[in-house]
Chains A and B, each alone.
Chain A
Amino acid sequence: GDSVTQMEGPVTLSEEAFLTINCTYTATGYPSLFWYVQYPGEGLQLLLKATKADDKGSNKGFEATYRKETTSFHLEKGSVQVSDSAVYFCALPIGAGSYQLTFGKGTKLSVIP
C-alpha cells in the first residue's frame, strides 16, 4: 500500500548548519506530498507541500522537491536556527474516496547554539 519512509534521527545540528531530512514514498499515481512540523507541546503545522512531480515547495527557508524518478521529497534548509528545533513529518494522502494522511515516523531535530 501507499506509504512514506523518512529518516528517524534524532538529528542534532549546530546553528547555521545545513539540514537534510530524507523522505521516500510508495504510491499509486502522483499524490500530493507534505511536510509537517510539530513544536514541543503543540499540534502539527503544515510546513510545505508539492502537488505534482518536479514541484518545489518552500516556506520559512525550508525547501523540498517532488522527485518522481527517485520517489523522494527530501526536506532541506541551508542554515538552521535554534527555533527550528522540532519534529518533522513527511506525509501523503492515501485511500480512494476519502482523504486520509499517512505519516512517516518523524524526525526530531535539535539545533544547538
Chain B
Amino acid sequence: KAGVTQTPRYLIKTRGQQVTLSCSPISGHRSVSWYQQTPGQGLQFLFEYFSETQRNKGNFPGRFSGRQFSNSRSEMNVSTLELGDSALYLCASSLGDRRHGYTFGSGTRLTVV
C-alpha cells in the first residue's frame, strides 16, 4: 500500500516568488491536512481538506492557500514568499476518523533566499 507522496522533496525559491506543493494521499483517504514545521515554532497546522472542502484553517496569512481535487490529491500554494516561510511542509492523510491518526509524507523542504 503506497504511502503519502509529497513532491518535490526540496525546493529553493526567491523572496517574492510563489510556490505550489503537491500531496497524494493514501488511496481511500479523503482527509488531507498540511502542517508547517520550523525549529522555532514547531509543528503548526495550516489547513485540512475533506472531500474537496476546507474544513479548518490555521492561523496563517492569506498568502497560504490550498485545495483538494476529486481524487483527494491536494496542493498548497504560498504566494509572495518571505524568508520566514522557509520550513518543512508536511502533508498527512486520514480516513477522517479522529481515532486513527494521520499518516504523514516525507515533506517538502522549502528554502526561501
Q: Hey, which bits of chain A sit against chain B, CB under 8 A?
A: 31-32, 34, 36, 42-46, 49, 51, 89, 93, 95, 97-103, 105-106
Contact = CB atoms under 8 A, between A and B. Distances in A.
Nearest to A52: B99
A98 B96 CA distance: 8
Interface of B: 4, 6, 31, 33, 35, 42-43, 45, 48, 50, 55-56, 58, 90, 92, 94, 96-107
B43 A89 contact: yes
Contacts of B50: 98-99
A62 to B, nearest CB: 15
B10 to A, nearest CB: 11
Contacts of A98: 48, 50, 55-56
A101 B99 CA distance: 11
Given A95-B56, A97-B55, A103 B42 contact: yes
